[in-house]
């Protein structure tokens, strides 16, 4: 999809992000590069109502909008935004993740950068999105950067798929993983986004919505999904394999036919840049 290059302060490129921009990016964030293939094949998408809700809260359609998808990863959300008619610019620091995105979405401009320092012109976008990625940024930098890049009236939208805490087996799995994986927090990172944004952008009022959805997948794909999480990737195969084996044992008892119904809660937060009036 063509994108007006005047929106960019940097050319369409896969060149390395600056050392300073990566200095705040944790090893956990960069560990996704080691599981890029699993990420692309096993990670869930998002329910159709998510995009409709973004349009409602952003007060504009995605069709024809210039959207900057930050932390785009392998392009899961990027593709959905593009298919909705948006002109998408992907921003992704990881070379392997970016390679997956480039292979599947060669027409989408890809910038190797981070949300704390976007190589984009002021007031050049209608929407800035973070799908499963906002928690890897420093909000004191990434929120002002998003507001800088947004046109007046544009919107910042951040969201996460997290295991639905109201589904018993999923909640039990989360408890097991939290007890075995250092720093694990797949749930509980997303509902606090409105307060985080308000703390660094006083005067703005974020809106939060929670959507519920499910998908049915083979047990093997569910385990591949788990292995694509940063906490598993950071452990390495030798240490993560026993955890995955135990999960297979637990889940086989619950789903003896080998098909898992994964249940998700999508936490979405949207905040608009004010329209300046003279």
What digits encode the pLDDT tens for the residues 5-18? 334 443 333 334 43
In the chain, what are the domain boundaries?
A: 5-164+186-214+264-272
pLDDT for res 19: 33
Q: How many residues does the chain have?
A: 278
Greatest distance between any 2 Cα atoms in the chain: 65
pLDDT for res 229: 73
What digits encode the pLDDT tens for the residues 100-158? 999 999 999 999 999 999 999 999 999 999 999 998 899 999 999 999 999 999 999 99
Q: What is the DSSP string of 137-167?
A: S-HHHHHHHHHHHEEEEEEEEEEEEEE-TTS
pTM, full prediction: 0.83
Architecture per CATH, domain 5-164+186-214+264-272, reads as 3-Layer(aba) Sandwich (3.40)
What digits encode the pLDDT tens for the residues 192-241? 899 999 999 999 999 999 999 999 999 998 988 887 776 676 676 777 88
């Amino acid at each position: 999809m063509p994108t007006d290059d005047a929106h960019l302060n940097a050319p369409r490129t896969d060149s390395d992000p600056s050392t300073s921009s990566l200095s705040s990016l944790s090893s956990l964030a960069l560990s996704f590069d080691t599981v890029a293939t699993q990420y692309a094949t096993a990670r869930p998408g998002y329910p159709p109502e998510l995009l409709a809700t973004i349009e409602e809260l952003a007060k504009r359609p995605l069709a024809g909008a210039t959207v900057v998808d930050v932390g785009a990863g392998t392009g899961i959300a990027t593709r959905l935004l593009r298919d909705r008619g948006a002109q998408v610019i992907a921003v992704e620091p990881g070379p392997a993740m970016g390679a997956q995105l480039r292979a599947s979405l060669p027409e989408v401009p890809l910038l190797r950068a981070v949300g704390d320092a976007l190589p984009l012109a002021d007031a050049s976008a209608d929407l800035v999105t973070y799908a499963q990625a906002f928690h890897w940024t420093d909000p004191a930098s990434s929120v002002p950067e998003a507001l800088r890049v947004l046109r007046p009236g544009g919107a910042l939208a951040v969201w996460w798929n997290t295991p639905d805490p109201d589904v018993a087996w999923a909640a039990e799995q989360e408890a097991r993983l939290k007890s075995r994986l250092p720093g694990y927090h797949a749930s509980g990172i997303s509902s606090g986004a409105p307060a985080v944004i308000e703390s660094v952008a006083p005067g703005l009022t974020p809106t939060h919505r929670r959507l519920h959805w499910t998908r049915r997948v083979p047990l093997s794909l569910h385990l591949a999904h788990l292995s694509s999480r940063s906490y598993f990737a950071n452990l390495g195969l030798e240490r993560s394999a026993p955890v995955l084996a135990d999960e297979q044992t637990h889940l086989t008892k619950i789903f003896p036919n080998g098909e898992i119904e994964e249940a998700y809660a999508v936490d979405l937060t949207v905040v608009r840049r004010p329209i300046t009036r003279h």
